Amino acid sequence: MATPIGKGHRSLNLTLRKELNLYANVRPCYSLPGYKTRYDDVNLVTIRENTEGEYSGLEHQVVRGVVESLKIITRAASLRVAEYAFHYAKTNGRDRVSVIHKANIMQKTDGLFLKCCREVAEKYPEITYEEVVIDNCCMMLVKNPALFDVLVMPNLYGDIISDLSAGLVGGLGLTPSCNIGEGGIALAEAVHGSAPDIAGKNLANPTALLMSSVMMLRHLNFSDKAEQIQNAIVSTIAEGKYRTADLGGSSSTTEFTNAICNNL
């Protein structure tokens, strides 16, 4: 969605997030066989706390030339996203959850987030739990992303790490995303832009939105259908015969989609 320029209204994404209480943003990133990037062993999921943290929007000027911004961490929001992360790991057969933080410097805020994750981790003894400092995490991600499985983090780190991970596997055009809200609401979304320059020309790559719809199906426990569609997408890209322009091919949106349907 392109947010219209102007005042007097909230951004569309912000409205959705606030009204539906979407508290976790889930972004699985895995290397697509057939679409070669510098990395071929990425298989991780980033779970980002999406309501508070550094993006609380509470800033003010102290005196001229001195500005403050508040980063808020609450026990409630941290527990909520940690619970979701471990629940996701369990239901999707993932072995490890890593919390990304900077609690050595931000001892109270990130410290509280860590504390909440530790509490939840104790309830899931079968899942390996680890804590990784954000700067180490970034370094490890670019050197050896296979080290990571599920990552859970506060808002800002989540923003950075989820986009970094998307970059590892090919960019936002291929990355699915799902927002989880209170009461089990799930709003899957494609995170790329609206690309007005190619709109209506049958050139767009529907992969991100298709993958997001697969996430939606998994959330609804339609695992078989989800698996079927995902395999069709992955094999179509892997075959290389039908690829949209952004993946280096010359197929149109409809040709690509038909190929996927044939591969079901």
Q: What angle do CA 9, 11, 13 make, to 5 degrees?
A: 145
Does position 68 interact with another protein (CB under 8 A)? The reply is yes
Q: Any catalytic annotation for residue 95?
A: no
Q: Are 52 and 44 in contact (CB under 8 A)?
A: no
Pick from 27, 102, 192, 243 the residue near another protein by CB under 8 A.
Answer: 102
Kindly indicate which of the ranges 161-169, 202-210, 215-223, 253-261 contains the residues binding another protein, using the contact rule CB under 8 A: 161-169
Q: Are 161 and 141 in contact (CB under 8 A)?
A: yes
Q: 54, 51, 2: which is closest to 192 by C-alpha?
A: 2
User: Hey, which residues between 163 and 182 contact another protein (CB under 8 A)?
Assistant: 163-164, 166-168, 171-172
Cβ-based nearer residue to another protein, 75 or 201? 75
DSSP string, 141-193: HHH-GGG-SEEEE-HHHHHHHHHHHHHHHT-GGG-EEEEEEGGGEEEEEE-S-
Q: Please give the structure tokens belonging to residue 185.
A: 């609401």
Pick from 44, 45, 134, 151 the residue near another protein by CB under 8 A.
Answer: 134
Does position 146 interact with another protein (CB under 8 A)? The reply is no
Kindly give, in sequence order, each residue whose CB lies less than 8 Å from that of residue 87, ignoring residues fewer than 6 positions away: none
Does position 202 interact with another protein (CB under 8 A)? The reply is no
Q: Any catalytic annotation for residue 197?
A: no
Kindly indicate which of the ranges 34-42, 194-202, 238-246, 250-258 contains the residues binding another protein, using the contact rule CB under 8 A: 34-42
Q: Any catalytic annotation for residue 246?
A: no
Binding flags for another protein, 72-91, as an x/- string (CB under 8 A) = xxxxx---------------
Q: Are 80 and 51 in contact (CB under 8 A)?
A: no
Q: Are 32 and 171 in contact (CB under 8 A)?
A: no
Pick from 67, 245, 261, 264 the residue near another protein by CB under 8 A.
Answer: 67
Q: At closest approach, how far in Å is the CB of 150 from another protein?
A: 19
Kindly indicate which of the ranges 27-35, 139-147, 176-184, 198-206 contains the residues binding another protein, using the contact rule CB under 8 A: 139-147
Q: Any catalytic annotation for residue 157?
A: no
Q: Any catalytic annotation for residue 159?
A: yes
Q: Are 255 and 242 in contact (CB under 8 A)?
A: yes
Q: Which of 55, 88, 129, 157 is an active site residue?
A: 55
d(CA 76, CA 52) in angstroms, rounded, equals 11
Does position 215 interact with another protein (CB under 8 A)? The reply is no
Residues labelled catalytic: 55, 102, 135, 159, 163
Which residues would be at the binding site for another protein (CB under 8 A)?
Answer: 37-39, 54-55, 57, 59-61, 64-76, 102, 105-109, 111-112, 134-136, 138-143, 156, 159-164, 166-168, 171-172
